[in-house]
Chain A
Amino acid sequence: KAGVTQTPRYLIKTRGQQVTLSCSPISGHRSVSWYQQTPGQGLQFLFEYFSETQRNKGNFPGRFSGRQFSNSRSEMNVSTLELGDSALYLCASSGQGARDTQYFGPGTRLTVL
């Protein structure tokens, strides 16, 4: 089975712009979770989608949003980018969410200038 893929792998944006990141889960997995990793805060949970519905949400401002399509692919969007949004954004897929083994993608490294 192909692993979790994320596109793009690297991205450079400027403050105020918006960005969309994409995640394709392992075939058959219905849960996709998104995480932000920064040197200061470590790994933090953003949100989880399961069968096209947002099932859980972390403590992030409304500028961070996501969606999941019927084929389980997921996108996350960050609007009005701030310097502090520079981070590695990881997605992970699983059959049932946090109760299952999470399979992580390689991440998208976002730099905001």
Chain B
Amino acid sequence: KNEVEQSPQNLTAQEGEFITINCSYSVGISALHWLQQHPGGGIVSLFMLSSGKKKHGRLIATINIQEKHSSLHITASHPRDSAVYICAARVGNEKLTFGTGTRLTIIP
């Protein structure tokens, strides 16, 4: 079993819909990263959080340390949000352990 699990693996939605991607982890962590990867490979760091909630534009990330769970929300989704979203947990001696990613497709 992976230390970091994401769901769903694939998500297709209509433009404008509210999107939620979930990330669960099985070990104690000190921080959780949300990353975005577009076709072609480039990865952008969206959030790093260790408690509570962070917001950037239409993106919101939350984390519940007690429940070992984090969510990434996208409001008013747009086709340009189509990408793979990856959560990564900082575990133990500070290396990052990655989830398998959620492939998001937003249809105009």
Contacts and interface: CB of A to CB of B under 8 A. Distances in A.
A57 B35 CA distance: 21
Contacts of A44: 98
Given A42-B101, A98-B90, A99-B90, A104 B95 contact: no
**A interface residue count range (under 10 / 10 to 19 / 20 to 34 / 35 or more):** 20 to 34
Given A56-B93, A98-B95, 11 more contacts: A33-B96, A42-B86, A42-B98, A43-B98, A43-B101, A56-B94, A57-B95, A90-B41, A97-B94, A99-B90, A102-B96
B41 A100 contact: no
A58 interface: yes
Contacts of B101: 42-43
A106 interface: yes
A54 B86 CA distance: 25
Interface string B33-60: 1010000011111001000000000000
Interface of A: 33, 35, 37, 42-45, 48, 55-58, 88, 90, 92, 97-104, 106-107, 109
Interface residues of B, number: 22
Given A43-B86, A56-B93, A98 B31 contact: yes
A90 B43 contact: yes
B31 A99 contact: yes
Dominant secondary structure at the A interface: strand
A48 B42 contact: no
B96 A106 contact: no
7 contacts: A42-B100, A45-B98, A48-B94, A98-B96, A102-B45, A107-B41, A107-B42
Nearest to A96: B94
